Amino acid sequence: MLPQTTSLALALNQQAVNMMSVGKFSNAIRLLTRSLKEVKREIADDTSDKTSITCLDNGDHLRFGFTEEEAGVDDKTTIPRDFGSFRASTIFDRPISVSHDPSAAVCGFTSLARFTNALVYNLGLAFQLLAVQKQEDMGEPARKHLEKALKFYQMAYTMVVSDGQASGGCTLLQQMAILNNLGIVLQALGEPEKAKQCFQSLLQLAMLAMSREEPEVSQLHFDLFFRNIQSVILRDNLKSAHAA
């Protein structure tokens, strides 16, 4: 049986995912912030009470998935969201849904750490999409939302990289989603070189996913990612060639 704090955090995350699906990003941010506080409390309890970790390891499993996996990946569910003048860039706009499933492969403290990763990513996405809503008025409020998205995406990527080698670690698609969206945020904030580094890393992961034939990464995912990679990396390479 899940600890009460974890159950509450799962419910809050799902409510936030539902809010994001209808464009209520401010509401989602409040719910995700509450959920993250509950998870932090659970982690703090686990460090002082090892029996709660043992309880999780014995049968409490979490299932993770981008919301498009549940809806089916097609042209109708993959909604392109352009930001500002950078019209070629498409945000990977799907939050991560997390549910309790005894048959799922990920359990124990690893699942709690991965849930934290998912919440941090969802917060970054919610702030980024909130900024998109305000793109007609690119004043200080929209920039502040982008800066918060940047903070959460950077935090999420650091956590994913450190957790990625562990059993039940975050997936390749999640890493690709973070890099894609992080690059778009950096571009919008006037950091083109840092954005290019993100898309170069995204290209490496995309090639790895293709070589592995990762079932989680669909052709629509590749189309979205390569569209952004092409618009940044290949465009800069063409500029360098013309300059030479």
The structural domains of the chain, ordered by start, are 4-243 (1.25.40.10)
What pTM was estimated for this model as a whole? 0.80
For the chain, 244 residues long, give each residue's pLDDT as a single digit of tens: 556 777 899 999 999 999 999 999 999 999 999 999 988 876 666 544 443 333 344 445 777 788 754 333 333 333 334 333 333 468 999 999 988 776 655 544 467 778 889 999 999 999 999 998 887 555 667 889 999 999 999 999 988 777 544 434 578 899 999 999 999 999 999 999 999 999 999 999 999 999 999 888 989 899 999 988 987 776 665 555 455 5
Position 88 scores a pLDDT of 44
Q: Are 70 and 21 in contact (CB under 8 A)?
A: no
Backbone φ and ψ of 95, nearest 5°: -75, 170
Q: How far apart are CA 26 and CA 181, in angstroms?
A: 19
Q: How far apart are CA 204 and CA 136, in angstroms?
A: 34
Hey, which residues does 99 pair with through a beta bridge? 63
Q: Based on the number of CB atoms within 10 Å of its own CB, is 189 exposed (0-12), middle (13-18) or buried (19 or more)?
A: middle
Distances (CA, A) of 161 to 42, 126, 145, 150, 179: 22, 21, 24, 16, 11
